[in-house]
Structure 1
Amino acid sequence: MTETKRKRNFLKPLIIGALAVVVTGGVGAYAYDKYEEGQRAKIQEAYSNVKMNVGNQSAQNNNNGNNNDNSNNGDNGLNSNSQNNNQPSNVQNNNNNNTQQNTQNAKSPQEIRSIVAEAISTPEQNINFIKIKPEYEDDYAMQNNGVPLYIYEVEARANGLEYDVVVDAVSGKVLKVEIDN
């Protein structure tokens, strides 16, 4: 009789412990699913609020006069170089001129902040800008006649999400927005 009593005393806590683990695990999985569902909804809402190419219209209006002057200068350079029949340096000189133009006409970091704020539909004062880095990017060279494009890479946090935004430094065009949680 004492042997059966010991078995019952041993099995009872074991069964209760196993049930507790199963119930706790189920509640944890349910809570995690709810958390993930909330995060997915938050990211989806953020993507729906993203406005691509927000700075494009104002940049085009501001640069209309400048674009005419730049294209004339570029044509003059091409005509003088084509008269020399020196095509390899032709391409190199044209690329150098484009590179110099981009840095001279580039938007300021403050203008980029307002473009990003408008793109992610969040007031600028509610955004924590982690990185605003100007650089030349080869990934967009095909859109820029084979010349690396001068861009701003921006990392910002807002609304509990982290945004990675790429903006054309000259036109202000939003090229890419990625959202992480």
Structure 2
Amino acid sequence: MVLAFGGLVVLFGQGLDRITPRFLLGDLFSLTAGALWGATTVYLKRFLAERAQALQTFFYQLFFSWPLLLAASFLLEDPLSASLTGFGAFSLFYQSVIVAFISYLAWFNLIHHHPASLVQAFTFFTPVAGVFISGFWILHENVELRLLLSLALISIGLVLVNRPAHKATVA
């Protein structure tokens, strides 16, 4: 897992010398979100995976989260000050349908059918996939060496962690 985490450091490590308290607050929010996501995954696997289908779990989360997120957006965000452009509409569609709907539905299916520890480990690929899809496919940016190195480190780390255990033989 150290190699996989190192892959994330390679990908996002630029500018670590310019850390300010504001960055640390964002990091704290990210760590909190990750811990809550992990707790949700354990809860889903332990209490809901055998009693509900993945689609039910997905819609249950949507049903209770969208009113809270809508209220938070009105309370915390600035009023919309620009018109919606074509790229903005595409971005909204991409974030809503591809990222939120399809990826979460796939996530719940994986959680319902596979060990949570195995599925959770593969979330190391999420930032790499996000950088690749957003940068290369959408914004047509060049693929940098650090993205490929990050992908290699994460892949090697996950292969090492998830390889089958060898049973010791007695001679």
- TM-score normalized by the length of structure 2: 0.29
- Bigger proportion of residues as strand: 1
The structure with the greater share of residues assigned to helix is 2
Q: Which has the larger radius of gyration?
A: 1
Identify which of structures 1 and 2 has the higher relative contact order when contacts are C-alpha pairs closer than 8 Å and 6+ apart: 2
